[in-house]
Chain A
Amino acid sequence: MQASEKTLNEIKLRIPYVEVKKDKLISIVYVQKELLINTLKTIKEDFGFKLFIDHSVIDTLEAQNRFEAFYILYNVDTKERIVVKTKTEHSLPSIERLWFAGKWAEREAYDMFGIHYEGHEHLVRAFMWDTYSYFPLRKDFPLQGYENVELPSLNETVFGDNLTGTMNYRRTHTYVPTLKDLEYTEKNRIKKKAQVVLNWGPLHPGTHGTMWFLFDLEGERVVQTDVILGQLHRGVEKLAEHEPYQQFLVYTDRMDYISALCSNQAWTVAVERLLGIEDIVPLKAKYIRTMMSELQRINSHLLWLGTYALDLGALTIFLYAFKEREKIMDIIEGITGARLTISYTRIGGVRMDLPEGALEVIESFIKFFPKELKDWEKILSRNRIWLKRNKDVGVLTKEDIFFYGLTGAVARGSGVFYDIRKLEPYDAYGMVDFDVPLGENGDCYDRYLVRVEEMRQSVRIIEQCVQKLKTMSKNEPFMAESQDPKKLRLTLDGIGLKVPAGEVYSSGENPRGELGFYINSKGGLKPYRVKIRPGSFYNLCVYPHLMENRYVADAVTILASLDPVVGEIDR
């Protein structure tokens, strides 16, 4: 929920120089740049907004104070969210002392907007290579980039520049990093302290994607770690500024490609909240979305379980998990027509009604799935080797969760009750009954138990959704109808959907943590700025801390238990 009037007034009383603003969607505290750190500190320590959610800037293109920075914070105890905003020309004070996660967010803002952070310990680019000279998310950077590097294709190199017709491509392209650039970036990231710097990635089976880790090794002990991101960077936030709201949906598929339906849902709900039509979305659509998201959550957790066990050497669980996952994939394919990049939800509903027999298939799946899960737990949960590899490895305390801005199963594994489905129910989550499993020690084993239990809870949710959907008739609408089609056009293709000016931060509980969308709209067909808060990105930022003084073998355990997906980290 947004911070209440009362909290804002208290903040106003306590810190007199701030301005506060509250509307239905967002609670904002405006503050001068010079007083930013003190304000954030007071809000964090005295008002309990301990959990760091997100930080970035908006390029307003104004002559004075061009950039508007925002910090999104959350109070887990009172369930309030607050946005702190400030304006700046080109520099900001660093918040690395308050939240480590802020350090990574600042690196991203530096990378994308060229904001200089005073007092930042190691201000290097987050996604682009270090010799890159532009700031892509600035409004004056063209969508297609600057095409000023001549890169002939192989054909052109071999046969000369005499190709005709469709074969005759443009020879100038945007700059791509050369090996030299990457070597420079690598040298720039880590100063060797111990014996060997091991390049772990970017193409390595243990990294679950294209992440590039640098381990400084003393024997097998890791002394320091750094991560080079950006191998999958596609500039989704830039694309969002140039796409209609509905059409941006397909990019949410490609962010966290393992849980596309959940990302779809989070984006759709965010836009619906911005439009103010959350209430007119038909109940049927809400239940379908919830049910599909939970199926996707099981699917995603199964992939996690399989690869986690695989990383620890238990090869068989991988195939067991994938067999069940295949069934879910088939169900999802039968309902939506796609397996990976689904784009099933629509602003105002879903793309199509459930096909005949879908509910029966889902029912038979959830009937047998818990038995399978029990079988796997017999192999793993009490296994001595499994316990030895997981217990007391990668321990995160509650304070760590807030300091590093961790969400999702990682936060719950450390006993922090942070589940958007409960704290801020969207769609049908408020109407179904389920429990949130919490860990005690915050080690890899607790995170494993939490995720396994989450699958059971998902089964419970699906069960209730199926029961409810069975009582609904086939003729009930699955798409909202606008009362005034001239003002608000709700269609399946979403063409011509105009969104009023305003801003919103709305998030969904993805399998990999909170996926938040900060949408800033100046009215019209396209958003002015979309900041995506990827759960994986902030969950990964704790990794170098956890890897201190661990063995290389723990690298896979800890990484897999944080469960990042590169598509979401790099966006």
Chain B
Amino acid sequence: MSIVALGIIIAIKVVVILAIILGIGAYLTLVERKVAAHIQRRPGPMVVGWHGLLQPLADGIKLLTKEDILPSSANFLLYNLAIVMALVPASLVFAVVPFGPEIHVFGYDIKPILTDVNIGIIMAFAFGSLAVYGVALSGWASNSKYALIGALRKAGIIISYEVVITFAALGPIMLAKSLSTYDIVMAQIHQKVWYIFLQPISFVVFVFALLAETGRVPFDIQEAEAELVTGFTVEYGGMKFGLFPLVEWYVEVLSLSSILTVLYLGGWSPINIPFVGFVDPFFFLGPWSGFIWFIIKVTILFLLVLWLHWTLPRYRIDQITTIAWKVMLPLALFNILITAFIAPLLRG
């Protein structure tokens, strides 16, 4: 493969991934509003377009045409840098997400993953941790007490749950004997088992940590609208305000759901019967069925998050950190202990 072809392929990958993430991110607002509406027994947006299909567009135009306000005595540089710091690391996680199996196009073997680095999982968590800088900077730069409290809450949560999520992910990594996201999926396919069946504890812990990291109910205390109005975004306006929930609620949920799918649900592999094999109702699509399965799994996870968000009340800050350090972390460590016994039994 020539250097030019490689460059073109990577460029195409970048464009496709960015276009899909940001485009889907906008449309997920509509999905969320529709799901929330139906949970609450109302139709949701119905006016703009058929069943509100053009609603995200209308929202976007409204947000973009709003006046750009900088609060007095806010730090201009940090105030704007916070948005970049929130958006970029969250999107970069997708660089290590394998969306499907290797495909054969125009004589090239292409892995549908931007960079198959051998420390993919660590990269994903590193970028996830970087996201806290966006929040912390926005809270600091807005020069508002509400924003500061919200940002500190978020920082507290991320510090607690970053530890938990890493220890939870250690289980599948030990089973797969690899840190590369692509290899973890391949390991699950070779061992003919999704790691959710071997790692149920770690799966539950990971889902909780996902909710906490993305600021979803019951862990949405950094923007608890009843007490902090909207927390760290309170001083932002227009699209700058719109970007924060877009990143937190959609891009981060998607990226972490993808990582979750890779670690526990066998990535692009079809329905699994543990240790027996895979059943693929989409067999007629050939290698493309993998993409369908990946999308289905991420969608289900996203809907689960929405379901919890619109049903549960929220925890208090001390209760959240207590759960992280006193319940989740010991569970994750216990899981590692068990995994250490199981891992050698598996055929690699």
Quick check: is B60 within 8 A (CB to CB) of the other chain? no
Chain A to chain B contacts (Cβ below 8 Å), 29 pairs: A196-B145, A198-B146, A198-B149, A220-B153, A309-B313, A312-B226, A312-B313, A313-B217, A313-B220, A313-B226, A315-B40, A315-B310, A316-B39, A316-B310, A319-B40, A319-B41, A323-B41, A379-B311, A383-B313, A385-B315, A389-B313, A389-B314, A389-B316, A552-B149, A552-B228, A553-B221, A553-B224, A555-B227, A556-B226
Quick check: is B225 within 8 A (CB to CB) of the other chain? yes
Quick check: is A551 within 8 A (CB to CB) of the other chain? yes
* Chain A residues within 8 Å of B, Cβ to Cβ: 196, 198-199, 204-206, 220, 309-316, 319-320, 323, 379-380, 383, 385-386, 388-389, 551-556
Shortest 9 CB-CB contacts between residues of A and residues of B = A313-B314, A311-B226, A319-B40, A314-B313, A312-B313, A553-B316, A206-B226, A556-B226, A313-B313
Quick check: is B56 within 8 A (CB to CB) of the other chain? no
Of the candidates B39, B314, B319, which one forms a contact with A312 in the assembled complex, judged by CB atoms under 8 Å apart? B314
Residues from chain A with Cβ under 8 Å of B311 in the complex: 314, 316, 379
Query: When the two chains form their complex, are residues A320 and B226 in contact, meaning their CB atoms are under 8 A apart?
Result: no
Query: When the two chains form their complex, are residues A386 and B317 in contact, meaning their CB atoms are under 8 A apart?
Result: no
Q: How far is the CB of B122 from chain A (nearest CB, A)?
A: 32
Q: How far is the CA of A385 from the CA of B228 in the complex (A)?
A: 19
Of the candidates B39, B41, B319, which one forms a contact with A388 in the assembled complex, judged by CB atoms under 8 Å apart? B319
Q: How far is the CA of A310 from the CA of B311 in the complex (A)?
A: 11
Query: When the two chains form their complex, are residues A551 and B313 in contact, meaning their CB atoms are under 8 A apart?
Result: no
Q: How far is the CA of A313 from the CA of B216 in the complex (A)?
A: 10
Quick check: is B312 within 8 A (CB to CB) of the other chain? yes
Residues from chain B with Cβ under 8 Å of A316 in the complex: 36, 39-40, 310-311
Query: When the two chains form their complex, are residues B315 and A389 in contact, meaning their CB atoms are under 8 A apart?
Result: yes
Query: When the two chains form their complex, are residues B145 and A198 in contact, meaning their CB atoms are under 8 A apart?
Result: yes
* Minimal Cβ-Cβ distance residue in B for A309: B313
Of the candidates B41, B153, B224, B227, which one forms a contact with A320 in the assembled complex, judged by CB atoms under 8 Å apart? B41
Residues from chain B with Cβ under 8 Å of A312 in the complex: 226, 313-314
Residues from chain B with Cβ under 8 Å of A198 in the complex: 145-146, 149
What is the size category of the interface that chain B forms with chain A?
A: 20 to 34
A379-B311, A385-B313, A388-B315 known; A310 vs B226 contact (CB < 8 Å): yes
Residues from chain B with Cβ under 8 Å of A389 in the complex: 313-316, 319
* Chain B residues within 8 Å of A, Cβ to Cβ: 36, 39-42, 145-146, 149, 153, 217-218, 220-221, 224-229, 310-319
Q: From A311, A315, A316, A380, name the one whose CB has the most chain B CB atoms within 10 angstroms.
A: A315
Q: How far is the CB of B73 from chain A (nearest CB, A)?
A: 16
Of the candidates A196, A383, A553, which one forms a contact with B312 in the assembled complex, judged by CB atoms under 8 Å apart? A383
Residues from chain A with Cβ under 8 Å of B224 in the complex: 313, 553
Q: How far is the CA of A308 from the CA of B296 in the complex (A)?
A: 36
Query: When the two chains form their complex, are residues A204 and B313 in contact, meaning their CB atoms are under 8 A apart?
Result: no
Of the candidates A323, A386, A553, which one forms a contact with B227 in the assembled complex, judged by CB atoms under 8 Å apart? A553
* Minimal Cβ-Cβ distance residue in A for B145: A198
* Minimal Cβ-Cβ distance residue in A for B319: A388
Q: How far is the CA of A385 from the CA of B40 in the complex (A)?
A: 20
Query: When the two chains form their complex, are residues B312 and A385 in contact, meaning their CB atoms are under 8 A apart?
Result: yes
Q: How far is the CA of A312 from the CA of B225 in the complex (A)?
A: 9
Q: How far is the CA of A198 from the CA of B149 in the complex (A)?
A: 10
Residues from chain A with Cβ under 8 Å of B221 in the complex: 553
Q: How far is the CB of B271 from chain A (nearest CB, A)?
A: 32
Q: How far is the CA of A496 from the CA of B331 in the complex (A)?
A: 77
Q: How far is the CB of B256 from chain A (nearest CB, A)?
A: 21
Residues from chain A with Cβ under 8 Å of B315 in the complex: 385, 388-389
Q: How far is the CA of A206 from the CA of B223 in the complex (A)?
A: 13
Query: When the two chains form their complex, are residues B317 and A553 in contact, meaning their CB atoms are under 8 A apart?
Result: yes
Residues from chain A with Cβ under 8 Å of B318 in the complex: 551
Residues from chain A with Cβ under 8 Å of B42 in the complex: 319
Q: How far is the CA of A518 from the CA of B40 in the complex (A)?
A: 44
Q: How far is the CA of A385 from the CA of B145 in the complex (A)?
A: 27
Query: When the two chains form their complex, are residues A314 and B312 in contact, meaning their CB atoms are under 8 A apart?
Result: yes
Query: When the two chains form their complex, are residues A220 and B317 in contact, meaning their CB atoms are under 8 A apart?
Result: yes
Query: When the two chains form their complex, are residues A220 and B149 in contact, meaning their CB atoms are under 8 A apart?
Result: yes
Q: How far is the CB of B324 from chain A (nearest CB, A)?
A: 14
